[in-house]
Amino acid sequence: MILIIAEKPSLGRDIADSLPGEYGKSEPRRYIVKGNYIITWVFGHMLTLKEPEDYDIKYKKWNLDDLPIYFQDWGCKIGKSSAGFEPKEERVKMIGELIEKSEYIIHAGDPDEEGQLLIDELLQWFGCKKNVMRLDTGDTTRAGLIKAFSRMKDNSLCINEGRSAYARSVADMMVGVNMSR
């Protein structure tokens, strides 16, 4: 099975419509099976940066002597769920199970830095060592996606785009923490 992780449900449906093969037993709100592919999606960031108090409870209360707050590695945690959507804990767990079962993975985040990060952070969360290919989702028409499947590249060539988005998130966190104190 080839797992495709899309950035949003509508993109997942567009990708499924562009793939060859017959539709299989799917759970339309969770994933779509088409031929040898299983397509799932995220709802924005499934993971979020840990807050300073996640590292040490002393940071929950403001103290000027603690500034600036800096951690060598700003880790992630599962983000808060939004009303009307499947709980993020459940979706993350399901995606992890699909990663485990897959032969390889197709990263179908939007073609920007945030889109790269959304899927990369999940792959990293699960310690994924499988081959990951990057699908250019700039043109979501059926013809555009069919063409994009013929031009996929190794996701490792795109990792720095996601790292750039991660660095901005860390910088925003540091500024937000330091400004709110």
* Cβ atoms 38, 166 nearer than 8 A: no
**How many Å apart are CA 59 and CA 99, to the nearest integer?**
35
Number of Cβ atoms within 10 Å of the Cβ of 62: 10
* Cβ atoms 117, 165 nearer than 8 A: yes
Tens digit of each residue's pLDDT (9 = 90 or more) over 2-34: 999 999 999 999 999 999 999 999 998 899 999
Pairing of strands 153-154, 37-41: unpaired
Q: What is the pTM of this model?
A: 0.88
Where does residue 112 rank: exposed (0-12), middle (13-18), buried (19+ CB within 10 A)? Answer: middle
Tens digit of each residue's pLDDT (9 = 90 or more) over 93-126: 999 999 999 999 999 999 999 999 999 999 999 9
Q: 70 Cβ partners below 8 Å, 6+ apart?
A: 174
* Cβ atoms 135, 7 nearer than 8 A: no
The amino acid present at 170, given as its one-letter code, is: V
Its sign, for the CA torsion 126, 129, 134, 135, is negative
Half-sphere exposure of 119 (CA within 13 A, CB side): 29
* Cβ atoms 124, 116 nearer than 8 A: no
Which pLDDT score is estimated for 178?
46
Half-sphere exposure of 75 (CA within 13 A, CB side): 7
Reduce the DSSP state of residue 38 to 3 states and report it.
strand
Which pLDDT score is estimated for 175?
61
